Structure 1
Amino acid sequence: MPTSSHDAGDGVPSISASSVVANAVCGHHLLKIVGYSRTKEVPNGERIDSSPFQLGGRTWRVRYYPNGKNSEHIDYISLFLRLDDTVAEAEAVNAQAKFSLLDQHGNPVPPYIQRTLTNNYAVNISWGYGIREVHQKGGVGEIRASQGRFLHCQGRRRYAGVVPRAGDAIHRGDLLTSKAGVDVEFLVGGETFSAHRYVLAARSPVFRAEFFGSMKEGTTTEAIRIDDIEAHVFSALLTFMYSDALPDMKQQEEYDMAQHLLVAADRYGLERLKLICEYKLSNHIYRSTVAAILTLAERHHCHGLKKACLAFLGSSANLNAFMESEGFEFLTKSCPGLVKDLLLSKVVAC
């Protein structure tokens, strides 16, 4: 079998090694969007370009589409990074981009973070994302970009009620994993979960009342039984309460989990998690899902998510198709008041 060593002549093989080091250039560009509401007057498909900027020896621009890049993204804003140079034939300009909207304090908003795959900008000179608008309140924008190993783009918009992940959340996550000092157990779906009363009480007003308020059930050491939440959902709920983050999920898993977590977040008074679930569900609004999502939004007072669903049904084609589906019949039984609003909007549209 061949090897990478060779005999030096005295029976002892010599070994050599080498390294490949790839240079990566990182940086950022800030783009402020002043008077955001006025930019919404720009028609769908039309853009506003940033000034050109230099990164990694290349010239770049950020492209901002206030009402989406095409008709499929009319309910979105779109952010694209574009290579503004002429590239020699067979030359590659590989880069990765990250887009995130910032809150009014300049901090990233976790639900509004998108990262692209590595793209060869010599072939595809523009690459980006459409970001659905949920709970936005105008404001000033900033976009950052860098070239090389990754391109880092960040935009600022106000997102009500969402704050970035705190540094101490990482340490709380370690505490949950280690189970050091746990003092409460939950029995959920046949599985047992251990936790810390003070952590849960600090995060949830419901747990606080249950453990230390008028709802407390004494100092029993028996496991608390929860029958209306599935075990994997409760596990994700605990993870979020400790670490301020959710586990990575595939697209369909994310849709299913977001529905269950939204209900749990509303039950335990976790407003930030509730807003994150609203955002995730807003990216899954289709003709086949809008009835279920709209029902959730109505039952759990998710005004931004409800608005996103109604905007989707504002299209005559979507509304007509929806009214002929089983989802419409389901909504008629579960939320008759919503159906009345939809029918009124259809009459007005006609």
Structure 2
Amino acid sequence: MGACMSCGVVGTSDANSASAIIAMALKGSQVLKIDGYSRTKGLGSGKFIKSEPFDIGGHLWCIRYYPDGQTEESAGWIEFYLQLNHNNARRVDASYMFSLLDNVGEPVPPYCLSDGVIRTFNNSSYAWGYKKFIERKALEESDYLKDDCFRVRCHVTVSKEIRTEVTSQFVTVPPSDMNQHIGSVLSSGVEADVTFQVGEETIAAHRVVLAARSPVFMAELLGPMKERKSHVRIDDMEPRVFKAMLHFIYTDALPEMDKGDTDAMAQHLLVAADRYDLERLKLMCKHKLCECISTSMWTTLVLAEQRGCKGLTETCFRFLKSPSNLKTIMDDDRFQHLTTSCPSLPNELLANVAR
């Protein structure tokens, strides 16, 4: 949680007291149903409707619903904000995520918004949330508005510390940093026992780590022919993509990506994850692609079809149900490429949009 703490010890020369501090997080969520959506429009920019209070982590919260946006700039958008609802807590540190729900209660990927930052809430009227959560027009043309109703979920994670008295020396239990230690083994190359020739680069790694994470590497590096696999050539992958995959294998996290390269890297990594049977990496790449679906529509759709990613394909189809989105995408030259590379997709696309 990034908090730095110190403790003063008071006692005699032969007796000390100490504490162990364990940082914990309390989580919960609240589903807000907007029933009678059409009657909330026209309330005016900056005006909101407040939900009933709900308890998460021992604190009362409420959700502010702005049907016409918080400012004139966002007048055509719907916005949601989270507010601490009671006055007996001076400050609460928490992170949050707002998700639009489909008709079966599942989050809709393009509208699952979280910056992952722990925010400080206090007893003032200030609230944290998202500008331009969803455009009114997009909601009204979607399947998520049904019988003049739609639902959003607010997931809240409250930071909390529990102090337990002990009689030993002072101990602070930090978050796990195992991924950093294992990641440093990769970057240092210490005791590496297998190398990969990827393009013009030679990359060293540890066969036991790769085999533990990937059944494909397990067969290649620890199978019957393992004595022949101390050097492996990879001809159909860029070095930066292979390194990003290794970073995930050693740390269970995606590497930092340039904003302009996120969708392309996610696409390449999805192919690599499929090849080496890294299911968690595939899911993380799908999530990244869902977040930037508007900027990489056609390449993402083709990739989803080729790799059998049904959920990602359905996300693309949902995006195209908006007439404005569909017109923009079909005017793109890449639509003609789609008819050549995946002949079945245009018909399937048009059939889904028609439904």
Q: Same fold (TM over 0.5)?
A: yes
1:266 equivalent among 274, 290, 302:
274
Q: Which residue is 1:99 aligned to?
A: 96
Q: Report the Cα distance in structure 2 between the residues aligned to 1:251 and 1:52, rounded to whole angstroms.
A: 36
Q: Report the Cα distance in structure 2 between the residues aligned to 1:143 and 1:204, rounded to whole angstroms.
A: 34
CA drift of 1:342 comes to 1.8
Do the aligned partners of residues 207 and 166 (structure 1) sit closer, same or farther apart at CA in structure 2, a change above 3 Å counting?
farther
Matched, 1:340 2:353: no
Write out per-residue CA displacement over residues 285-335 of structure 1, whole angstroms, 9 at most, x where no aligned residue.
11x521111111111111221111110001122112222221211211111
CA drift of 1:172 comes to 2.3
Do the aligned partners of residues 174 and 118 (structure 1) sit closer, same or farther apart at CA in structure 2, a change above 3 Å counting?
same
Q: Which residue is 1:206 aligned to?
A: 216
Q: Which residue is 2:197 aligned to?
A: 187
Q: Which residue is 2:309 aligned to?
A: 302
Q: Report the Cα distance in structure 2 between the residues aligned to 1:142 and 1:338, rounded to whole angstroms.
A: 36
Write out per-residue CA displacement over residues 16-36 of structure 1, whole angstroms, 9 at most, x where no aligned residue.
xxxxxxxxxx99775444xx6
SS of the equivalent of 1:240 reads helix
> Which structure is higher in strand share?
2
1:285 equivalent among 270, 293, 298:
293
Aligned 8 A contact 1:183 1:197 in 2: yes
Aligned 8 A contact 1:94 1:118 in 2: no
Q: Report the Cα distance in structure 1 between the residues aligned to 2:254 and 2:245, rounded to whole angstroms.
A: 8
Letter of the structure 2 residue corresponding to residue 236 of structure 1: A
Do the aligned partners of residues 212 and 119 (structure 1) sit closer, same or farther apart at CA in structure 2, a change above 3 Å counting?
closer
Do the aligned partners of residues 304 and 61 (structure 1) sit closer, same or farther apart at CA in structure 2, a change above 3 Å counting?
same
Letter of the structure 2 residue corresponding to residue 247 of structure 1: P
Letter of the structure 2 residue corresponding to residue 128 of structure 1: G
Q: Report the Cα distance in structure 2 between the residues aligned to 1:264 and 1:71, rounded to whole angstroms.
A: 43
CA drift of 1:181 comes to 1.8
Q: Report the Cα distance in structure 2 between the residues aligned to 1:141 and 1:116, rounded to whole angstroms.
A: 15
Do the aligned partners of residues 97 and 255 (structure 1) sit closer, same or farther apart at CA in structure 2, a change above 3 Å counting?
farther
Write out per-residue CA displacement over residues 224-275 of structure 1, whole angstroms, 9 at most, x where no aligned residue.
1112111111111101001101222232222221111111111111010010
SS of the equivalent of 2:157 reads coil
Q: Report the Cα distance in structure 2 between the residues aligned to 1:50 and 1:30, rounded to whole angstroms.
A: 19
Q: Report the Cα distance in structure 1 between the residues aligned to 2:216 and 2:77, rounded to whole angstroms.
A: 39
- CA RMSD of the aligned region, Å? 4.5
Letter of the structure 2 residue corresponding to residue 186 of structure 1: F
Q: Which residue is 1:49 aligned to?
A: 51
Query: For 1:8-87, what aligned pairs fall within 5 Å after superposition?
Result: 30-33=27-30, 39=33, 43=37, 49=51, 51=53, 61-63=61-63, 80-82=81-83, 84=85
Q: Which residue is 1:127 aligned to?
A: 128
With the length of structure 1 as denominator, give the TM-score of the two structures. 0.62
Matched, 1:219 2:228: yes
Q: Which residue is 1:12 aligned to?
A: none
CA drift of 1:282 comes to 0.5
Aligned 8 A contact 2:97 2:154 in 1: no
Q: Which residue is 1:174 aligned to?
A: 184
Aligned 8 A contact 2:96 2:154 in 1: no
Aligned 8 A contact 1:294 1:306 in 2: yes
Higher relative contact order structure (alpha carbons within 8 Å, sequence separation ≥ 6): 2
Say how many residue pairs are matched: 272
SS of the equivalent of 2:195 reads strand
Do the aligned partners of residues 292 and 212 (structure 1) sit closer, same or farther apart at CA in structure 2, a change above 3 Å counting?
same
Letter of the structure 1 residue corresponding to residue 186 of structure 2: L
With the length of structure 2 as denominator, give the TM-score of the two structures. 0.62
SS of the equivalent of 1:233 reads helix
Letter of the structure 2 residue corresponding to residue 219 of structure 1: R
Q: Report the Cα distance in structure 2 between the residues aligned to 1:200 and 1:54, rounded to whole angstroms.
A: 40
Do the aligned partners of residues 54 and 229 (structure 1) sit closer, same or farther apart at CA in structure 2, a change above 3 Å counting?
closer
SS of the equivalent of 1:98 reads strand
Q: Report the Cα distance in structure 2 between the residues aligned to 1:293 and 1:73, rounded to whole angstroms.
A: 26
Do the aligned partners of residues 169 and 232 (structure 1) sit closer, same or farther apart at CA in structure 2, a change above 3 Å counting?
same
Do the aligned partners of residues 61 and 316 (structure 1) sit closer, same or farther apart at CA in structure 2, a change above 3 Å counting?
same
Q: Report the Cα distance in structure 2 between the residues aligned to 1:269 and 1:73, rounded to whole angstroms.
A: 41
Do the aligned partners of residues 146 and 238 (structure 1) sit closer, same or farther apart at CA in structure 2, a change above 3 Å counting?
closer
Unaligned residue ranges in structure 2 (runs of 5+): 1-22, 41-47, 99-111, 135-150, 161-174
SS of the equivalent of 1:143 reads strand
Do the aligned partners of residues 346 and 54 (structure 1) sit closer, same or farther apart at CA in structure 2, a change above 3 Å counting?
closer
CA drift of 1:170 comes to 3.9
Q: Which residue is 2:259 aligned to?
A: 251
Unaligned residue ranges in structure 1 (runs of 5+): 1-25, 87-92, 102-110, 132-137, 148-164
Write out per-residue CA displacement over residues 99-132 of structure 1, whole angstroms, 9 at most, x where no aligned residue.
369xxxxxxxxx985235978989993322459x
Aligned 8 A contact 1:31 1:50 in 2: no
